[in-house]
Structure 1
Amino acid sequence: MSSSKSPAMKSALHGGILGNKGSKNGNTGNGSSVDGRPVAAIAPGLTVSGCKYDRSIEDTVVALRRELRTVYETLREQNEKLVDLEKDVRDRDISIRYLKNEYRKLKEYYQSNKSDLSVPPNFALNGSANKENGAANVDDLLQKLQKELKEKDQMVRELNQKVIRLSNNLIFVQKESLSKDDRLDELQNEIDKFRQVVRPITKAMIEKRCSEDTFDNWSPGVENTRVLPVTETRIKRQAISAEPLSSLAGMQGDLIKIPKSSL
């Protein structure tokens, strides 16, 4: 009957015998054999989940950086708008000051020359000696000046309204800038907290972690800090000495190494 067994059955029996031998020789079940070498078939799929966890962390970091970059770009755009608004406000102020100055000059001139209100300095009446024609020209000049004054007053009012509107926009931009600064501080605090928990992730680290196939080398959220020499096999502890450490001091104050008993 032994000769009639299929190759699959032989391999299954052979694998079961080897598995029993491994368990009898002291396999602890944590993914390591007796001689300290990792067993790759103990936890299949852990490396894939570890890679997914690592990728999720990387995606979170990338998303945070993208959001931070967006906030920086928005803040830069708002700063540029703020500079443009400030420039526009300065230009409007210059125009308003100029118009007010012109208006003040005209008003002072006509108030100081009540007797000859119609004739500004260096003004000729087209060479006309007729008083009636001169009076008509003076009336036309007064009407023209009054019309110009009304237009300038209207321009001043419009400019004042624009200044008020630009001031409101400037206040809004400043508030938005302050809110963006607060948001940047919050994001920076979140990034600092994240960096305190997770080490900086690099492409080389991700490739190295994804290339590892066993639970001993890496597992999600757990760092294996044990260092096992390659040339020295791991020895299972059998007993613990109950003697105090003070009685184990040598001549130089060094602790005496007690060989482990093989019970």
Structure 2
Amino acid sequence: MFKLIGVVVGYLLLGFIGAVIGFFGGAFFDRMRAYGSGGMNPLQNALRQAVFLETVFISMGKLAKADGHISQDEIDHVEVLMRKLGMTDEHRKQAIALFKQGADAAFDVEPTYQRFMSICGQTKDLKQVLLVYLIVMAHADGHFHPQEEALLIKIAEYLGYDQAAFRHLLDMVINQSHFGAGQATSGQAIEDAYKALGVSKESTDAEIKRAYRKLMSQYHPDKLMGQGVPEDMIKVATEQAKEIQLAYDLIKKTRGI
């Protein structure tokens, strides 16, 4: 009930972004009514989710056009996301407008990230999930175009990552994807597994376990939803967690721990 009220009121006041805020705020109140208070501020959480989605669609447009051509795979990726979010035709049009806005060569994405950081910047995991999501999208065709990589580096800077930290995260995400896609070969798999966890063969068992637990904590669904990741986008984090688990299981098997 609150979800529907939130969408209507939010849309009348603020349009698409208001409807998104109303949807997530109403959904929170519906859950709170059913399960009890969780101590979070639902309006603040809903605002984070709305800004997260706005930043995602604009960034997807900017990334898709980074190499000068928007591929069908990239368009399909946006369509899949909108279906998962259950958008109405009107909201789909506005989400597509955000995508096209980001794809405009004259559009400066920096103010979008200034807004994101002002509202979501205090949550490290939220920033990382956004960056991981964009890396996964840019790497969907199996490689990075130089312009895509340059844009990701710039986005990482907006989010507070230096180049070394970004490269470390990039290496982890790409190697995690080998396990999710079943691409890791027997000869290369163990090396990929260490990279997926951000450790090396020289790391101790305790260091590896600590890295694994830290990653799994970062991708915990309840934690991410509490910080502002929309529920329907938790699947991205869930897939990353599965890949991390597979990598860790291989390391344990190899080491006999």
TM-score by length of 2: 0.20
Could you say which structure has the greater relative contact order, defined with CA pairs below 8 angstroms and 6 or more residues apart?
1
TM-score by length of 1: 0.20
Name which one, 1 or 2, has greater alpha-carbon Rg.
Answer: 1
More helix by share: 2
